[in-house]
Amino acid sequence: MQTTQSKRSLILHAPNIHIGGGLILLRDVLNTKSRSIRWAQVDERSKTTLDLPTQIKKHYVKNTIFSRLLAEYRLWYNAKSTDSVLCFHGLPPLFPICGRVIVFVQNCILLEKNKLTGYPLQTKLRIFFERMWIKIIQRNSYRYIVQTPSMAIAAKRRLGNDLNVTVLPFMPSNDFLSQQKKTKNKQKKFDFVYVASGEAHKNHLNLLETWCLLGEEGLKPSLALTVDPKLYPNLTRTIGRYEKLGLNIFNFEELQTTDVFDLYQSSAALIYPSLAESFGLPLTEAHQLGLPILASERDFVRDILNPAQTFDPNSPLSIARAVRRFLDAPEPTREMRSTDDFLKEVMK
């Protein structure tokens, strides 16, 4: 067995991985010293971000249907029986291929059946077909890897109880994170930070509405966001409108990894109202840096930590109450009135 393992080469198949935690993990896979990658296909949009070694044969996949299908054909054509094929984008190969296939599922939306409210039409169509893809194209020899117990449950519920699935949480090795953990007493510029891209399930709109509710009650904690205007122009414009209301909301655009960790260290707490995650890398990063965390009451949160406060992410009022509890600024209690008071109000 050891001889077979030593002869194996790795094919890395990662179209559509170009933002967020997936890109961070992919970059670390490419940079790890133990790699034996002989061939890779990655998203063209990640070309400037990924440091692909020169000795690796590589192809860049465009964000088009034709390019995606061509990438699947190349994968079928190039895979050998001695290869381990890592499908990093969460979908099994479209065509049956030689070699051992490992599917790393890091997008929980592929395993759900919700209506994708708030997503652009093009994204809805893509996810619709990808959900069919992962459901229909299965083979018993394929192995699936997820990062949390709740993702394993979702995968078996969607793809079958006999699915060969392994739970393996991992984080990118980060020397900068280790250095940041040693930094003490850094000045806190922000009460809360939310490190997240701008997809609909990240739930920025409810978070912004929460800050409106708090502002109406005279409470204006500062909030730092990290939404890229190039990728999410509509959400960025919405954030801009809330910024103009004087609610202490600040959006930091196009941050590098070191900038993100500086932002963590400059914040008193992480707030994380996401509706769905396969892992939630910022939760783990903030936890390792010792930040208190306010998060959605969801399985993906409890899979990896116990937050300081939780809330219903679908309710801005619930989020606002969690913020108040954390800030030790309790909501004013309302006096219980009599029936006579009620009728007087009616007859005003």
CATH number at 231 reads 3.40.50.2000
* Amino acid identity, position 253: E
How many angstroms separate the CA atoms of 151 and 303, rounded? 10
In sequence order, the 6+-apart residues with CB closer than 8 A to the CB of 19 are: 197, 228, 231
**Is residue 337 domain-resident?**
no
* CATH number, residue 67: 3.40.50
Mean pLDDT of 36-58: 87
Mean pLDDT of 151-162: 93
Same domain, 201 and 146: no
Same domain, 214 and 311: yes
**Is residue 41 domain-resident?**
yes
Neighbouring CB atoms inside 10 A of 302's CB total 15
pLDDT score at 1: 44
Q: Residue 272 burial (CB < 10 Å; 0-12/13-18/19+)?
A: buried
Same domain, 116 and 206: no
Same domain, 106 and 199: no
Contact yes or no for 202/196 (Cβ under 8 A) = yes
Mean pLDDT of 134-163: 92
Same domain, 245 and 316: yes
pLDDT: is 115 or 288 the higher one? Answer: 288
- Domain, as residue range, for 283: 176-327
Same domain, 89 and 59: yes
**Is residue 340 domain-resident?**
no
Answer with the one of 135, 167, 199 that is the final residue of a domain: 167
Same domain, 307 and 182: yes
How many angstroms separate the CA atoms of 283 and 305, rounded? 8
Same domain, 249 and 140: no
**Is residue 335 domain-resident?**
no
**Is residue 344 domain-resident?**
no
pLDDT digits (tens, 9 = 90+) for 223-272: 999 999 998 999 999 999 999 999 999 999 878 777 898 999 999 999 99
Residue 210 has pLDDT above 90, yes or no: yes
Number of domains the chain contains:
2
Q: How far apart are the first and last CA of the chain?
A: 85
Between CA 240 and CA 180, with CA 282 as vertex, the angle to 5 degrees is: 105
Helices (H), 79-192: 121-136, 149-159, 175-182
Same domain, 93 and 242: no
In order of 109, 199, 201, 296, the CA distances from 311 in angstroms are 21, 20, 16, 5
**Is residue 334 domain-resident?**
no
Contact yes or no for 219/329 (Cβ under 8 A) = yes
pLDDT band at residue 179 using 50, 70 and 90 as cut-offs: low
Answer with the one of 106, 134, 167 that is the final residue of a domain: 167
Mean pLDDT of 113-132: 88
**Is residue 348 domain-resident?**
no
* Amino acid identity, position 133: W
Same domain, 220 and 198: yes
Q: Which of 19-28, 153-162, 323-332 has the lowest mean pLDDT?
A: 19-28
User: How big is the chain, counted in residues?
Assistant: 348
Answer with the one of 167, 194, 210 that is the final residue of a domain: 167
pLDDT digits (tens, 9 = 90+) for 64-106: 999 999 999 999 999 999 999 999 999 999 999 988 999 999 9
Half-sphere exposure of 45 (CA within 13 A, CB side): 14
In sequence order, the 6+-apart residues with CB closer than 8 A to the CB of 121 are: none
Write out the two tokens for 272: 């994380």
Same domain, 15 and 159: yes
Same domain, 144 and 208: no
The one-character DSSP state at 344 is H
**Is residue 257 domain-resident?**
yes
How many angstroms separate the CA atoms of 102 and 302, rounded? 26
